[in-house]
Amino acid sequence: MAVEVKICGIRDAEGFDAAVAAGADLIGFVFFPPSPRFVEPAQARALSARHAGGALRVGLFVDPADETLAATLAECPLDILQLHGEETPARLAAIRARFGMPVMKALGVATAADLDAVAAFAPVADRFLFDAKPPPGGPLPGGNAQPFEWRLLAGRAIPRPWLLAGGLTPDNVAEAIRCAGAPGVDVSSGVERARGVKDAALIRAFVAAAKGAA
Ligand SMILES: O=C(O)c1ccccc1NCC(=O)[C@H](O)[C@H](O)COP(=O)(O)O
């Protein structure tokens, strides 16, 4: 089966059009104000309207309040909520119940023990995203261009669809997919020419390398 590809942190038409044209399956909009990739919900809605149905729209949040989710969804229809903070399984269950939407839980991975969390989240998460743990004291919980040991995921039975993330680039994504046995990948920094600025050529190269990985 073809590898799923998510391009995260899209903020402008160049990045959005390039991702959809290249065949990205999911587009991530970062609704976390401290991020250089933050996008206003109205802008995300305008971008999505360029290619209706072209890719699944993922809204990325970090420990969001219900009011934030409700206000964002009122402004910008989304297909999946990505939760990239310290949300607990109970919080995921509450968000799913209130908003009736699929939820993707991001888990930081440094050692095999970090994957133990999958069991607790599996009943309430529709998808997982495995990312490197953020640098201590760093400003962002994700999007830090940090890889982790891909082989920690090799041979693991993950009971939900999942994406591998963290420091992926057009040059390393095929190897990462093979090492981890990943059914999908997610990238932000590796397709940027400057922090927060997506590059169409890098997006095309990344999607081609990921989709071509055997
Ligand atoms: O990208 C951000 O700015 C961000 C901010 C806060 C929480 C999560 C964030 N990104 C999450 C993603 O899904 C990234 O695509 C993922 O961490 C991989 O990023 P990168 O290592 O830069 O490719």
CB-based contact 37:196 (threshold 8 Å): yes
Distance in Å, CA 62 to ligand 1 centroid: 11
Nearest to 210 by CA among 53, 14, 23, 28: 23
Distance in Å, CA 143 to ligand 1 centroid: 3
Distance in Å, CA 151 to ligand 1 centroid: 20
CB-based contact 60:8 (threshold 8 Å): yes
What is the number of domains present in the chain? Answer: 1
Distance in Å, CA 61 to ligand 1 centroid: 11
Q: What is the CATH number of the domain that holds 142?
A: 3.20.20.70
CB-based contact 15:175 (threshold 8 Å): no
Name the residues annotated as catalytic. Answer: 8, 131
Given this model, what pLDDT does residue 145 score?
Answer: 96
Contact 64 CB / ligand 1 (< 6 Å): no
Q: Give the residue carrying structure tokens 């095309």.
A: 204
Q: What is the pTM of this model?
A: 0.97
Alpha carbon distance 76, 44 (integer Å):
7
**Looking at ligand 1, which atom is closest to the CA of residue 166?**
21
ipTM of the complex: 0.98
**Looking at ligand 1, which atom is closest to the CA of residue 82?**
13
Contact 107 CB / ligand 1 (< 6 Å): no
Contact 30 CB / ligand 1 (< 6 Å): yes
Domain that holds residue 152: 4-212
Given this model, what pLDDT does residue 48 score?
Answer: 94
Given this model, what pLDDT does residue 80 score?
Answer: 98
Given this model, what pLDDT does residue 49 score?
Answer: 92
- Which residue's C-alpha comes closest to atom 1 of ligand 1? 143
CB-based contact 147:175 (threshold 8 Å): no
pLDDT tens per residue across all 214 residues of the chain: 789 999 999 999 999 999 999 999 999 999 999 999 999 999 999 999 988 778 999 999 999 999 999 999 999 999 999 999 999 999 999 999 999 999 999 999 999 999 999 999 999 999 999 999 998 888 899 999 999 999 999 999 999 999 999 999 999 999 999 999 999 999 999 999 999 999 999 999 999 999 999 6
Contact 185 CB / ligand 1 (< 6 Å): no
